[in-house]
Amino acid sequence: MWAFLQQMSYWDWLALGVILLILEVFGAGGYLLWIGMAAAAVGVLTFILPQLSWEMQFLLFGLFAMATALYWWRRQRSAVRESDQPLLNLRGQELIGKTFQVHEAIIDGRGKIKVADGVWLVKGPESPVGTRVRVVAQEGAVLSVERDD
């Protein structure tokens, strides 16, 4: 093992970089990409400076890997931006404040309203079919409603 470490060439680093890039293809989320680039950078430096000791090569690899991982982390954080439609996947939340007609009478505090082509369970005051109600809250898959007078 020590003999291998003492005689590491740029081919070894480039091969490690290629292996990491191939593994990235299988879905590592970008992390192996940058570590593979760090290994390739050490390979290039080892080609340019063949007298680099194996200790220095590993130290450079560790520094490059941390620097590229930090770069990737900062880039990912800066890429997050606020949505112009924050309730896009929160269907029940986007219904709050809107009015609908009771589809199945609300009896004992439970009933149904029709929303577009779907039906939602609701809880609220006793109401016959056709009564207009306003959604005031969501609790899981059940909407809380009140009469819209």
pLDDT along the chain (149 residues), means of 10: 69 89 83 88 92 89 92 81 73 87 93 91 93 92 89
Tell me what pLDDT residue 59 has.
94
Cβ-proximal residues to 41 (8 Å cutoff; 6+ apart), any chain: 60, 64
Beta pairing, strands 118-123 & 142-147: parallel
Superfamily grouping for domain 91-147:
Nucleic acid-binding proteins (2.40.50.140)
pTM: 0.52
The end-to-end CA distance of the chain, in Å, is: 82
Domain ranges of the chain: 2-79, 91-147
Q: Give 57-64 contacts, CB < 8 A, sequence gap 24+.
A: 57/8, 57/13, 61/13, 64/37, 64/38
CB 120 within 8 A of CB 112: yes
Instruction: In whole angstroms, give the CA distance from residue 49 to residue 41.
Output: 12
Instruction: In whole angstroms, give the CA distance from residue 110 to residue 108.
Output: 6
CB 36 within 8 A of CB 59: no
Tell me what pLDDT residue 104 has.
93
